């Protein structure tokens, strides 16, 4: 490739540099969010619900879409992205707010346990909420919950809301899926 006279080394390096810079900015944002959340949990800082439940930026969502296309069915990912783009800005915000409320409610019922009726009802609401993006089967649903705890970016977002939320959520979804299969 480097010996190819048509290969534009400068453009390739510039694109690579841009991609690295974008990744760096994303990681710096996650670090800042974690630091702010630590201060919040230590009661050294106040944070609004909006700050605690800050949605992924458009750039982050685009990056996750690319990753998802590699890992999962690209057709489903593309259809989900197109579905999202068809919503108005107001509808997108309402969907994000609804999703955030699911997580707020989940944190509130965590003391009751992953198998409590309240927790399982919230997982049912989350399941319906996912329909705004795509309709996963039960295995995909569990895979999504597992990703929340395994993907560093998602885990950081969940940990910022509550340090045990990602694990609790995965366990609650596992019970939900098992109950649906019966």
Does 75 reside within a domain?
A: yes
Of 21-25, 125-129, 142-146, 165-169, which gets the smallest average pLDDT? 21-25
Cα distance between the two ends of the chain: 55
> 67: closest CA among 55, 56, 51?
56
The domain total for the chain is 1
The percent of residues in the chain predicted with pLDDT above 90, rounded, is 24
CATH number, domain containing residue 150: 1.10.490.50
Q: Is residue 38 part of a domain?
A: no
Write out the residue range of the structural domain in which residue 97 sits.
52-181
pLDDT at 20: 81
Residue range 23-31: average pLDDT? 74
**Top-ranked range on mean pLDDT: pick from 73-77, 173-177, 178-182:** 173-177
Is there a domain that residue 165 lies in? yes
pTM to 2 decimal places: 0.66
């Amino acid at each position: 490739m480097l010996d190819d006279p048509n290969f534009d080394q400068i453009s390739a390096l510039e694109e690579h540099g841009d991609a690295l810079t974008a990744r760096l900015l994303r990681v710096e944002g996650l670090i800042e969010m974690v630091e702010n959340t630590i201060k919040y949990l230590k009661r050294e800082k106040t944070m609004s619900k909006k700050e605690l439940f800050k949605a992924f930026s458009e750039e982050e969502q685009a990056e996750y879409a690319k990753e998802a296309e590699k890992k999962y069915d690209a057709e489903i990912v593309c259809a989900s992205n197109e579905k999202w783009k068809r919503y108005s800005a107001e509808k997108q915000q309402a969907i994000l707010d609804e999703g955030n409320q699911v997580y707020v409610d989940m944190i509130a019922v965590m003391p009751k346990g992953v198998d409590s009726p309240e927790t399982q009802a919230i997982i049912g609401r989350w399941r319906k909420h996912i329909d705004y993006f795509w309709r996963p089967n039960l295995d995909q649903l569990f895979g999504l919950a597992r990703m929340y705890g395994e993907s560093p970016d998602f885990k950081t977002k969940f940990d910022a809301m509550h340090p045990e939320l990602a694990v609790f959520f995965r366990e609650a979804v596992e019970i939900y899926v098992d109950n649906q299969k019966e």
